[in-house]
A and B are shown apart, each in its own frame.
Chain A
Amino acid sequence: MAHIELKNITKKFGGHTALTSLNLEIADGEFFVLLGETGAGKTTTLRLIAGLEKPTEGQVFIDGVDVADWGAAERDVALVLQQYSLYPRYTVRENLEFPLKPKIRRLPDAEIKDRVARAARTLRIEHLLDRKTDRLSGGEMQRVSIGRAIVRKPRVFLMDEPLSALDAKLREALRTELKNLQMQLGATFLFVTHDQIEAMSMGDKVGVLNHGRIVQTGTPQEIYNNPRDTYVASFVGSPPMNLIDGKLVDNRAVMAPMNFELPLSGAGNAADGRPLVFGIRPEDVYLESGAPVEAHVHDVENHGVEKILTLRVGDTMLRATVPARTDVEIEQPVRFAWNPDKVVLFDKGSGVSLRHAS
């Protein structure tokens, strides 16, 4: 198992810059999730670690050793992709054996047999061993892909959206399985995804990538409760954090477009009068008859355990998560308030959270 470090990595493809001075550290045995939208540079980061791409600038360290001159074969990492990581002409068994048979680290036959059997048992694919891979379902294919990675006992597992091509039910099941597997193996995982739910539910640590830059790294809780900027705030969480433009005047948040006000204490005077963005999670917005602001219910989404309301104040929309028993109708006037302790203040110009700025 291994410790991974990326130092000051820049990667350019012709005129396009995929990654800009990226720094990243993954501790030994950690489940690290790299979260970002399509084109943010997640896959590039993964390929740099795998040795399939060379950085334009910067260094990659595996266990403290600069691996710039190591090919993909020597790095001893395992790669699981969204698709195409199984060899179509081989059976499941042959696919699992394949990583154990290269010349540079060919294992004895008995050992190969043993490892394949163990991996098959771990992933519950024993009954599929003699099947050709084109006769597998999507979930079975991904299990075999993961199997191809675990037979080798690599130093690090690199996973490029391995669950994205699966349907929702299966995705959920494999999410849990994968997390359990990682804990069981005690292995270092780098998991790339655009799905913030996967990131939050699986990661020990999450790195949010935006346009080739790491915006924030931290535990899922840190990222969720204390986003570094408005990008992270709106990307992580479903529904995302409400972001409302306004100003702070005498411990009150004054929202610019519609001039509604909410109490806010403890933000300090430094922020007074500056153009700000107030961030509040939907679950920290609540309805109350005596609450300070009136809004209209614009939309109701029933999620079973809760309802997600879209509230309209003038032109401003904001989301509120309320208990399912709350009885509201569209266009009904309601009053709402927020939990002032949970409000995150962002600078309007830079988008950076005031807590992170200092």
Chain B
Amino acid sequence: MAAVRTSSEVALNRAAIVAVLVATLIFLAPIYWIASTAFKPKELAVSVPPTVLFQPEVTPFIRLFTKRVQMQKPVDPQVYEAAPWWEKRIYDGGERVLKVGKDVQLSQYPNRFMNSLIVAVISTVLAVGMGTFTAYGFSRFKVAGEADLLFFILSTRMLPPVVVAIPMFLMYRMVGLNDSHIGLIILYVAFNLSFSVWLMKGFMDEIPKEYEEAALVDGYTRMQAFFKIVLPEAATGIAATAVFCFITAWNEYAFALIMTNRRAQTAPPFIPSQIGSGLPDWTTIAAGTFLFLLPVAIFTFLLRNHLLRGVTFGAIRK
């Protein structure tokens, strides 16, 4: 960046900042909507015009994590007084928390959330790991029919996956993979692998092969050179690829809806299934969605430095 700037450059710079701010506001608006709804009292969730200032409460989260039933008659004041604070919030809403003996019955949300985590993390690790090795192979060795193979790998993304949802479902049911973690993981690895291979190939090509050759000459095997030299150099690419794969797997809705219903159901199809009939409880749904957004936000935040360099495809490395 030049030390001296002309006035037109300054003006341009200001305009750019304003444009970025406006875009950020537009993108953040739905996030704000979800977040604020998640902390609203139930009655304010659907108020017109929308309530902006309100006393935030965590009741939607308590409802999210518990099983409840509507009470026919008001709660016994003694029971109410003896209840912990979070249970009182439920009584206040005219409901009571379901219990087995003394134990509070949890809703299905934590379980669905765990399913999402298991499926997304494992499929990301597999897709990125396989992608990294495959990309290294394509990048460093002469592979017969390299261009054709790479094109074939890319071509698996040319069809919207949903098109094959029905045949996939039938096949999965036949081999007993439906409603299982492993079934979803296989699907998500298959979606992400081509992307991972192509992205990682770009990053691998950027790493000078001289580094490994120096290690080979120094007495290391190809495998040792790969782990000691190539992998640390590829960290940026791996991080960027992992974020993309994780987001895809985490947000996937259609296949999760079709392939799973109970054991392995992930959060995306679960959350809307809680709308139910009658008046939907938007605050609880918003609370579920809000929590669902956090892992991706945290993951992306942790890898932000890598990601920034990663999405420029290493263009600023040299």
Using CB atoms and an 8 Å cutoff, list the residues of chain A in contact with chain B.
50-52, 71-73, 75-79, 81, 83-85, 87-89, 98-99, 102-105, 148, 152
Contact = CB atoms under 8 A, between A and B. Distances in A.
Given A81-B210, A87-B211, A73 B232 contact: no
Nearest to A74: B219
Given A84-B208, A87-B229, A88-B233, A73 B214 contact: no
A84 B211 contact: yes
Contacts, number: 58
Contacts of A105: 219
Interface residues of B, number: 16
A103 B224 contact: yes
A53 to B, nearest CB: 10
Nearest to A158: B217
A102 B217 CA distance: 10
Interface in B208-249: 208, 210-211, 213-221, 224, 229, 232-233
Nearest to A152: B218
Given A84-B208, A89-B233, A102-B224, A52 B219 contact: no
Top 6 nearest A-B pairs by Cβ distance? A102-B219, A84-B210, A99-B218, A72-B216, A84-B208, A73-B219
Contacts of A103: 219, 224
A52 B218 contact: no
Given A83-B208, A87-B229, 17 more contacts: A50-B217, A71-B216, A72-B213, A73-B217, A75-B217, A79-B213, A79-B214, A81-B214, A84-B208, A84-B211, A84-B214, A88-B211, A98-B218, A99-B218, A102-B218, A102-B219, A102-B220
A82 to B, nearest CB: 9
Contact of A98 (B215, B221, B232): B215
Contacts of B220: 73, 102
**Per DSSP, are chain B's interface residues mostly helix, strand or loop, or mixed?**
helix
A184 B232 CA distance: 37
Contacts of A76: 219
A75 to B, nearest CB: 8
B265 to A, nearest CB: 42
Contacts of B211: 84-85, 87-88
Contact of B217 (A78, A83, A89): A78
A15 B217 CA distance: 27
A83 B224 contact: no
A77 B208 CA distance: 20
B213 to A, nearest CB: 5
A85 B208 CA distance: 9
A85 B210 contact: yes
Given A84-B208, A85-B210, A87-B211, A52 B233 contact: no
Contact of A85 (B214, B219, B224, B232): B214
A87 B232 CA distance: 10
Interface in B195-214: 208, 210-211, 213-214
A246 B218 CA distance: 54
A79 to B, nearest CB: 5
A255 B267 CA distance: 91
Contacts of B232: 89
Most chain B Cβ neighbours within 10 Å, of A81, A83, A152:
A81
B226 to A, nearest CB: 13
A84 B212 CA distance: 10
A5 B120 CA distance: 57
Nearest to B213: A52
A88 to B, nearest CB: 7
B167 to A, nearest CB: 42
A103 B208 CA distance: 24
A73 B214 CA distance: 10
Contacts of B218: 73, 78, 98-99, 102, 148, 152
Given A84-B210, A102-B224, A52 B229 contact: no
Contacts of A83: 208, 210
A76 B211 CA distance: 17
9 contacts: A50-B217, A73-B219, A73-B221, A81-B214, A87-B214, A89-B232, A98-B215, A102-B218, A102-B219
Interface string B243-284: 000000000000000000000000000000000000000000
Contacts of B216: 51-52, 71-73
Contacts of B219: 73, 76, 99, 102-105
A210 B214 CA distance: 27
Nearest to B219: A102
